[in-house]
Amino acid sequence: MSNKKVMVDVCPEGFTNSSKITDFFDFDKYYSKKTVEKREITARREGAKLELRVEGPYGAPYWMWDSP
């Protein structure tokens, strides 16, 4: 990703406020390390400078790639 910081808002088809973020994306397939806390997931790839944070506290999840 060229070490760029990015935020993406998504609304997956079928998403509801009671949905789990992991129902819509297989983090284990693409990321070597993952931390799950309530409605937030932090994931990192081995050797990557940026981490992915996915949050969905008030509705559809948003995805942020940022420095750890």
Q: What are all long-range contacts of 19-22, with beta carbons under 8 Å and residues at least 24 apart?
A: 19/56, 21/54, 21/56, 21/61
Contacts of residue 27, defined as CB under 8 A and 6 or more positions apart, other chains included, come to: 34, 41, 43
- Note the pLDDT of residue 1: 47
| Domain boundary assignment for the chain | 6-66
pTM of the model: 0.70
Span 7-41, pLDDT tens digits: 777 778 888 877 777 888 888 999 999 998 877 88
Q: Do 51 and 40 contact (CB within 8 A), yes or no? A: no
